[in-house]
Amino acid sequence: MFKRHKSLASERKREIFSRGVTRSMLKNDLRNFHCLSQLVLSAGPLKSAPVVKHSKSAHFEIEILDAQTRKQICIVDKVVQTSTIHDVKQKFHKACPKWYPSRVGLQLERGGPFLKDYITIQSIAASSIVTLYFTDLGQQVSWTTVFLAEYTGPLLIYLLFYLRIPYIYDMKESSRRFRHPVVHLACFCHCIHYIRYLLETLFVHKVSAGHTPLKNLIKGCAFYWGFTSWIAYYINHPQYTPPSFGNRQVTVSAINFLICEAGNHFINVILAHPNHTETGKSVVKNSLGFNLPEKIFIYDSER
């Protein structure tokens, strides 16, 4: 009886002890959870790990073939999307120094139009490998050089005839003959005309394309220089006869010349500075005499 009572008492103690241990464990867990929550709150909101972005820029490989033989000349690699035809020409010049950029003509197809320098590779590329056909455009000169040569020649050539240098006219006849005042006026007007052309070439005209074949320089100079030599020879000849109607004809012609020179100058200034609309189109203002007939030499897109 005593043993049984003793065993019950020991079991009750164990039960009480286990309950106490469980309660203490719960208290410790709550305390740990409370500390953890305070730590999280003090640390602030969780920040996501930064995402590493890998920038992949596509590169093109330009294969340049001879337009006549279709043989490969070189390969220009590591060409980015934003590169232009002008950039390709620069790299092609580094690979083949004998062909400078202005001498290089690149085509997308044989016999097709030459690609403009401002065209991007991305706009013509169908894959990562682009095939272009090369044509040698020959020796090139800048358009500014062409215009300066065309206009400087007539100015100097006319002065040679005006001064009546030897081997052009007979010296004895030149010294005897008196020059009519209209001869001096013609020289003055001729010089004013070509000096204005030279100044407008340097400070007014805007040349879009940079270069042109050398043959265009030769053709232009042959026309301007030859025509000037023809008229200068007769105007400054010792046997030159003055106008039939006298001073009245000279005065009217001089006034018309000055009006035409001023009108042509203002037209060139207006064409060089057009107004741009909101859509980006260029609009040219009409000025006095703008719509009058005028002899215009129109250069194509090469100018």
The CATH number that applies at residue 64 is 3.10.20.90
Question: Per the structure, how many domains does the chain have?
Answer: 2
Q: Of 83, 114, 138, at which residue does a domain stop?
A: 138
Q: Report if residue 251 sits inside a domain.
A: yes
Q: Do residues 227 and 162 both lie within one domain?
A: yes
Q: Average pLDDT for residues 73-84, to the nearest whole number?
A: 92
Domain boundary among 138, 169, 188: 138
Are 78 and 203 in the same domain?
Answer: no
Are residue 166 and residue 212 in the same domain, yes or no? yes
Residues 146 and 279 in one domain: yes
Judge whether 275 lies within some domain: yes
Are 197 and 169 contained in the same domain? Answer: yes
Residue 185: per-residue pLDDT:
97
Assign 209 a pLDDT band (cuts: 50, 70, 90).
low
∠ Cα 137 139 143 (to 5°): 95
Model pLDDT, residue 228: 98
Predicted model pTM: 0.67
105: pLDDT strictly greater than 80: yes
Q: Is residue 302 part of a domain?
A: no
Taking 70 as the threshold, does the pLDDT of residue 39 lie above it? no
Q: Are residues 118 and 155 in the same domain?
A: no
Query: How confident is residue 207, by pLDDT bands cut at 50, 70 and 90?
Result: confident
Q: Are residues 149 and 239 in the same domain?
A: yes
pLDDT tier, 216 (very low <50, low <70, confident <90, very high otherwise): very high
Residue range(s) defining the domain that contains residue 207: 142-283
Say yes or no: 199 and 86 in one domain. no
Residue 30, in any domain of the structure: no
Is 23 part of a structural domain of the chain? no
Instruction: Indicate if 214 and 276 belong to the same structural domain.
Output: yes
- Within a domain: residue 52? no
* Same domain (yes/no): 157, 118: no
Q: Do 79 and 193 sit in the same domain of this protein?
A: no
The region of weakest confidence among 63-67, 148-152, 241-245 is 241-245
Is 156 a domain residue? yes
Q: How much is the average pLDDT of 112-138?
A: 93
pLDDT one-digit tens code per residue, 243-291: 888 899 999 999 999 999 999 999 999 988 876 555 555 555 555 555 5
Look at residues 89, 115, 138 and tell me which one is the last residue of a structural domain: 138
**Same domain (yes/no): 150, 277:** yes
The residue ranking higher by pLDDT, 14 or 176, is 176
The sign of the torsion formed by the CA atoms of 200, 264, 189, 146 equals positive
47 part of a folded domain: no
